[in-house]
Structure 1
Amino acid sequence: MSPSAKQAARTAKNSRVVRGLARAGFVASGLLHILIGLIAIALATGTSGGKEADQSGAFAELAAAPGGQFLLWAAALCFTALGLWLLLSAFLDRSWEGARSRAAHIVENIVKAIVYLVLAYTAYVFAIGGAASSAQSTSQFGAKLLSTPGGVFLVVAIGLVLLGVGGFMVFKGITRRFERDIRVPSGVRGTAVRVLGVVGYVARGVALGAVGVLFVVGASTNDPGKTTGLDGALKAFLSVPFGVFVLIAIGIGWIAYGIYAFFRARLAQL
């Protein structure tokens, strides 16, 4: 990247507009997690009405709500801004020392950016009146992989990566490493932020780990129906002992993370 291009990218990253929209992206993320948590609880109590317990189900809820189209367009814009900010931060942020730390920082930010940009696209699809099923898309993707030579190993690898990421989220929550991402306030407010962060990260990690387990199971049984993403993973808890209570706890945890994301919108070190 030329010096002029790098300076332009740095100016864009540090602009008040981009940072403001990026912070709003955390608000949109918080709302999304709260909706998914509520759907998970409804799923556990048998009142979900067939809604998908993932981002598609959450966006469908927004689309059906008063002013939902405006919220979807706003979410698409804010997720895009946050994704682009993370991409710029991956390569322009010099606060990480050492080659290994910098490499990890770049990879982490790129992965997060991709997630938010995918969310932006999904919000856009719903905003223009379309519909998408994350569970169906994930299952179709798994089926295509399983039908290709060596695809079963790729599905296993994806499952193991998801397990690893889920485990890291649990670790990040328990050890409170998420405090590195924000300016933790003092007093009762700070305690609330810490509790919400711990509960939220652990719940997200457990759910993502369950997705990884299903990918591995799907690969070992050659069953793409197992690779249905978050919705399938949460529904799978209903078939295990005490799974209803686990699913309710996960739903509460996702709601907790959603509230934490609202705090993060203001406290994030952008």
Structure 2
Amino acid sequence: MADISTHVPNPPPKWIENFAKFGLTAKGVVYCLIGIIAFMAAFELQGKTTESAGRSGILRTIQDLPAGNVLLGIVALGLLSYAIWRFIQAFKDTEAKGSGAEGIGKRLRYLFSGLIYGAFAYLAAKIVLGSGGSGGGDSRETLVSKLLQQPFGQWLVGIVAVATIAAGLYQIYYGYSEKYKKKIQSGGLKHDIEQKMIRAGKVGYIARGVVWIVIGYLFIRAALQSNPQEAGGNTAAFQFLENSTYGSFILGAVALGLICYGVFMFMRAKYQPIHT
């Protein structure tokens, strides 16, 4: 990682800050929409379904708004900005995580996040250009299908499942323990703003962790049954929650948590210091 970072040009600090804030805002828009549509799906408002709360569904929702292609293009650029910022955090170590085992692990998380949101930006751009699919073919189902074709395929899917559940548990721990407070408190914010950010972040991280755990559980089912159709992303996770006991209320609560996470992103964009 350190060798790679020496070949990455040192961009102007303001450039990094602008990309980070633009990216956090775009991420906030996406999560607020996911939460709103999932909440509407939970209580069957205006005909919304859990399908509408998936990645393609959210992007299509933006596209259907007045001047939708322009708005979706802005969101795509924002998500790309977020991905680039994550790459800079990983390669340039702007968060000073270091080159030890723990530091490399955290920087790899930034890199993985950049790849995820880069792919999301690519999907948004495809839809803007009219070449995006209509939601057919979940990327996680495709991943599971390819893994199952490999030697020890079920074990590989099981490893991905465990890693996903572990990531979800860490999100819940990260939110409940309020470990993210350090970044917020370093900005010298007013106490009331700081407390609002901490509360929004806690609820948001926990809700996000629940979704990741459900996705991991679906991967386990796919591994045990050797069936890629058992896997899925947000849409499948929301459907699972909705079909459980008191499902509408559980999905509604998770949806509100995701809205809080989106609001937390907006607050980070406005108030959090960006290290360059």
TM above 0.5, yes or no, is: yes
Residue 22 of structure 2 is matched in structure 1 by: 24
Q: Which runs of 5+ in 1 are unaligned?
A: none
State yes or no: 1:51 paired with 2:35. Answer: no
- Note the 1:4-153 alignment, pairs <5 A: 6=6, 9-10=9-10, 12=11, 14-46=12-44, 47-49=47-49, 51-93=51-93, 95-97=96-98, 99-132=100-133, 133=135, 136-153=138-155
Equivalent residue letter for 1:220 = L
Equivalent residue letter for 1:105 = K
Q: Which runs of 5+ in 2 are unaligned?
A: none
Q: Separation in 2 of the partners of 1:49 and 1:232?
A: 11
Q: Separation in 2 of the partners of 1:77 and 1:126?
A: 13
CA apart distance, 1:137: 2.8
Equivalent residue letter for 2:28 = G
CA apart distance, 1:151: 1.3
* Match 2:181 to one of 179, 185, 188: 179
CA pair 184-63 structure 1, distance change in 2 beyond 3 A: farther
CA apart distance, 1:261: 0.4
Q: Secondary structure at the match of 2:53?
A: coil
CA contact (8 A) 1:135 1:229 kept: no
Report which stretch shifted further, 191-200 or 66-75: 66-75
CA apart distance, 1:121: 0.6
CA pair 158-189 structure 1, distance change in 2 beyond 3 A: same
| Structure 1 outlier segments of 4+, above 6 Å | none
CA pair 151-262 structure 1, distance change in 2 beyond 3 A: same
* Match 1:209 to one of 210, 213, 216: 213
RMSD between aligned residues: 2.3
Residue 237 of structure 1 is matched in structure 2 by: 241
CA contact (8 A) 1:39 1:51 kept: no
Q: Secondary structure at the match of 1:153?
A: helix
Q: Separation in 2 of the partners of 1:140 and 1:92?
A: 33
Q: Separation in 2 of the partners of 1:44 and 1:114?
A: 30
Q: Secondary structure at the match of 1:9?
A: coil
CA apart distance, 1:173: 0.4
Residue 252 of structure 1 is matched in structure 2 by: 256
* Match 1:269 to one of 253, 260, 273: 273
Q: Separation in 2 of the partners of 1:174 and 1:135?
A: 35
Measured against aligned partners, the alpha-carbon deviations of 1:23-67 in whole angstroms (never above 9, x if no partner) come to 111111001001111121122112315633222211110011112
Q: Separation in 2 of the partners of 1:9 and 1:267?
A: 27
CA pair 8-113 structure 1, distance change in 2 beyond 3 A: closer
Q: Separation in 2 of the partners of 1:225 and 1:231?
A: 13
Measured against aligned partners, the alpha-carbon deviations of 1:139-172 in whole angstroms (never above 9, x if no partner) come to 2332232233321111111111110110000011
CA pair 111-268 structure 1, distance change in 2 beyond 3 A: farther
* Match 2:161 to one of 159, 162, 172: 159
CA contact (8 A) 1:28 1:78 kept: yes
CA contact (8 A) 1:76 1:120 kept: yes
Q: Separation in 2 of the partners of 1:187 and 1:236?
A: 39
CA pair 220-238 structure 1, distance change in 2 beyond 3 A: same
The structure with the greater share of residues assigned to helix is 1
CA contact (8 A) 1:9 1:88 kept: no
